[in-house]
Structure 1
Amino acid sequence: MNLKSLIFDKNQMNLFFIVLLILSCTDENTYNVNTIVIPEDAGTIEPNSGLFIGGSELTFEANAKDDYSFVRWSGDVDEETNPFIIKINSDLSIVAEFKENQIEETDPDADGDGVKDSEDLCPDTGQGFPVDGTGCRIRNEYDDSYFLVWSDEFNYDGELAEDKWHHQVIPPNNGSWWNNELQHYTSNIKNSFVSDGTMKIAAIKENFTFDNSTKNYTSARINSKYAFKYGRVDVKAKLPSSPGTWPAIWTLGTNINEVGNYFGDSQGSVGWPKCGEIDIMEQNGWAKNELYGYFHFANPDGSYGSYGDKTNISNASGTYKVYSMIWTDKVIRILVDNNEFVSITNNDNVPYDNPHYLLLNIAMGGNLGGEVSSNFTEDRMEVDYVRVFQRN
């Protein structure tokens, strides 16, 4: 072998090792980067998936398509900056997350009543007033000069709406209620609940103890959390039929200081009857074909005063009747099915110039309930709606 051949062979070998070294290094430092777009077709990523040399720095940029916006990078990275720079040292999965843009409202609700302007027949109603599907205020079915201001239609199930009703459960008369009543009032759902579009107040025969006072019956007495001065009240209800039950739909002045009522802690300043009471409907326990409408108040000298009347009614437990009160600064009228049966002049001699709240309850026994049958187990007052209306 001559020297020239030896040198050539040596050069060939050196070149071989150099190429081998380069290829070896390239295989060890090439990494796979997989790019993913979520939601699919919401945008693109540059650069796209591919093999990249280890140690290199790459800039990844997410580009949103129309109607989408970039949110963040995820996968093997956690970034919110777009674009962002990363050094490639391993295989990576890089995810660009996008969100769909909210379509700008094209049908506004200028008066804020919940009905879009394109469907609103009364575009100046304003917020806070109940409206129908046309955006117009709801008028009373008997007198369209009155507009709905508050109601419970009982179009839900379960417990009574907490934002509308308060359970009055603390007996104010040394562990008992007034008028020789035999029940405790509770907030238990079995005594007051909503189902199938109506509210039920259930009087139940059971032993119940409250503050060491035990009674043989339970029921519910609920206060509205809404108070009003003047207006019309309509309550559509069926009454209990059992002897000894004493159902009532009535109002008291928010200034009564009776323990446990909803307004007493904040507004209670006078006792009963100075606060004023309006009995829209009471029924005694022995003549279920009669109704009472009554007013209780304090005379100017502070003495007790009352006025009222009764009317006949048929099948009050089997069919719904509408029990109503119309209250103005001049007169208060009580009606059943829109037929007035008693009224009182409203003047300085009676205390009906302050806000009142609604009460619904069933008492057991007592002065107006009378004797409860030994066979009694349970009975109910069922209420389809409670509505308060006022004039503009």
Structure 2
Amino acid sequence: MSGSSVSGTEEIRAVQYLRAAAAILVVFIHTGVYAEQIYWPTPRAGRRMAALLLCALGVVAIAFAERGLAAEPKRAPPRLVHEEDFSRAGGLDQNFWSYEISFIRNREAQYYRPENVFVANGALALEGRAEGVLNARYDGASKDWTRSTLTSEYTSGSIFSRFSMRYGAVEVIARAPKGAGTWPAIWMLGGDDGPPYREIDIVEAVGKHPNIVFTSAHAGPTLDELTNWSAETNVPTLSSQWHVYRLDWSAETVAVSIDGRQVLAVAPRGPDDPLRMPMRIRINLALGGSWGGQIDRSALPARFEFRSIRVYSNEM
């Protein structure tokens, strides 16, 4: 976790110091006046002073480069921009969320439908079901599996925010489903505007590891050139009790906590770091696929449930 960003005043002062030191050095070099030619107690002292000047210049430059001389200005604390408490009357906020429909990613078995997302018993539910469905986007000539697959034996739900955000916090109170083959996730994904790739997985769980929450971040020029950070947290009551999952995101830190305990912290480096770029919130319940594995049909229907969702931001 890195320190706080450099303020505008500090940046100006640092630049002034660097320019002054550089100017002195230029005078030494341009005029041919070396340390030995200036009156020092000894020639060695002159050489030492010149070396110290060079070292000081380098140290100042490195220090401010590491702290981000071009760092973004300090921001006001994020404000609450969206809140849904599902214990109250009403359904999903259609102005904030949109639905994923069809087959989407990871060779997952489920077909996403809006009908599998609903509010019941004071909670938002994304429900995975064992039921047949036709692919409305079917194209037998397509080489894309999401279009060339005619039917599915499973359906489920997936939503994403209509708006991208950069910095702030996302906090949810959720209860994961149980059963082999379930793969619930709460995550952030960028790339609507193209590369670079960026993803923050606040929560991922797979039914074959029933008590583990996987948290990670991925960033890089493309999906095939990623730097990855990850953590695994043992949560024995993952599917039986409600837990608080929170992302705190700033220019300096990407931090994820579970029930108030930080489990992952990543420090973005530089203004062009992908983890400093906008992303959308995504919540889904996948079934099977590249990581979900074999599906236990007897465990379905299974629900990924939410008591509340809160989003804080100062850039949205």
Give the TM bin, normalised by the shorter chain: 0.5 to 0.7
Q: Report the TM-score when normalising by structure 2.
A: 0.66
1:204 maps to 2:129: yes
- Match for 1:183 among 101, 107, 110? 110
> Hey, what does 2:306 align to over in structure 1?
383
Give structure 2 stretches of 5+ with no counterpart: 1-76, 139-149
| Separation (CA, whole Å) in 1 of partners of 2:307 and 2:289 | 27
| Separation (CA, whole Å) in 2 of partners of 1:377 and 1:319 | 19
- Match for 2:84 among 134, 152, 156? 152
> Hey, what does 2:206 align to over in structure 1?
284
Displacement, 1:376?
A: 3.2
Q: Quickly say closer, same or farther: Cα 1:294–1:301, change in 2 above 3 A.
A: closer
- Match for 2:171 among 234, 238, 245? 234
> Hey, what does 2:220 align to over in structure 1?
298
1:342 maps to 2:264: yes
| Separation (CA, whole Å) in 2 of partners of 1:346 and 1:338 | 22
CA contact (8 A) 2:197 2:222 kept: no
| Separation (CA, whole Å) in 1 of partners of 2:265 and 2:157 | 28
> Hey, what does 2:145 align to over in structure 1?
none
1:269 maps to 2:193: yes
CA RMSD of aligned residues (A): 2.3
> Hey, what does 1:223 align to over in structure 2?
160
User: Structure 1: which amino acid aligns with 2:80?
Assistant: L
1:356 maps to 2:288: no
> Hey, what does 2:241 align to over in structure 1?
319
CA contact (8 A) 2:130 2:297 kept: no
Q: Which has the higher contact order (CA 8 A, sep 6+)?
A: 2
Count of aligned positions: 226
| Separation (CA, whole Å) in 1 of partners of 2:96 and 2:247 | 20
CA contact (8 A) 1:285 1:371 kept: no
Give structure 1 stretches of 5+ with no counterpart: 1-144, 172-176, 257-267
Q: Quickly say closer, same or farther: Cα 1:230–1:338, change in 2 above 3 A.
A: same
What is the SS of the residue equivalent to 2:275?
A: coil
Displacement, 1:225?
A: 2.2
Displacement, 1:305?
A: 2.6
> Hey, what does 1:169 align to over in structure 2?
101
Displacement, 1:147?
A: 3.5
Displacement, 1:146?
A: 5.0
| Separation (CA, whole Å) in 2 of partners of 1:235 and 1:162 | 18
> Hey, what does 1:247 align to over in structure 2?
184
Q: Quickly say closer, same or farther: Cα 1:270–1:318, change in 2 above 3 A.
A: same
What is the SS of the residue equivalent to 2:291?
A: helix
Higher helix share: 2
CA contact (8 A) 1:156 1:195 kept: no
Displacement, 1:270?
A: 0.8
Q: Quickly say closer, same or farther: Cα 1:281–1:203, change in 2 above 3 A.
A: same
What is the SS of the residue equivalent to 2:108?
A: coil
CA contact (8 A) 1:238 1:318 kept: yes
User: Structure 2: which amino acid aligns with 1:151?
Assistant: E
| Separation (CA, whole Å) in 2 of partners of 1:299 and 1:343 | 21
Displacement, 1:244?
A: 0.9
